[in-house]
Structure 1
Amino acid sequence: MNTLSDILPLLGFYSVPFITLLFSRWINKQFKLLRLSVKVVDLIIPYMLLLLFAMSQLYFPVNLIPYIILIISVLGIILATYFTFYRKELKLYLFFRIWWRIVFIICLIFYVSAGIWMILLWMN
């Protein structure tokens, strides 16, 4: 783990979501041309979860995925409760749209912190 050749492939895989986000406007235009309602964020989230699983298996003493799933699930329950009891209506489209944005933010926070942790581990 102390050589650059050990961490370079993982850094390449780690940078893919950030590069994809840089070109997201162009990619979203291509999806619109094909009449697909898919956004770049929809494609990045499973990739980030998969890479977080791989990084946690390789470099961390605990697996991060159960914690991410638990946080995402609890926030989904809280959001559904808020829409149901305070707003008195639960529109599934609005719920899933907001919830998926929250999932992206949580995955991005875990992803960036795992990358920083991986770099700090490599430096020591």
Structure 2
Amino acid sequence: MTTLTEKPGITLIKAGSFKLNDLSKLLEVEGLKSDMAEVAVTNNSAPLTIGHFTMSPGVEFEYFYDSVEYKVVTKGKIVVRDTDGNKYVAEVGDVILFSPDVTVIFDAESDGEAIYTAHRQAAEDFAPAK
């Protein structure tokens, strides 16, 4: 099966990028008002971690991803660049997908929040503040 992380890099999935399936037809449930679409991110097996990310305008920072992670923007915008200088602007409802072995620059103009899922064990350093 083809996955979204077969090639190294950043994938920006804009809101509305995938055509949704009418579940009333798929599940044969008359009157059901529900739609759904899903795609494979990776076929690897590993721990899964979730988190919440916020960033306000200020300074940029660089982060190296050693596992698959995606962020869903829930407020404002998150702006990232790859090491080739390609810029990705993710706004509310957009998904940013980071493949393993990619360096990402979080741009100083970012001003938003996201929830994320990472295909790795939770990092002690990123545990909730006490």
TM-score when scaled to structure 2?
A: 0.23
Is the helix fraction higher in 1 or 2? Answer: 1
Higher relative contact order at CA 8 Å, sep ≥6: structure 1 or structure 2?
2
Larger radius of gyration: 1
Is the strand fraction higher in 1 or 2? Answer: 2
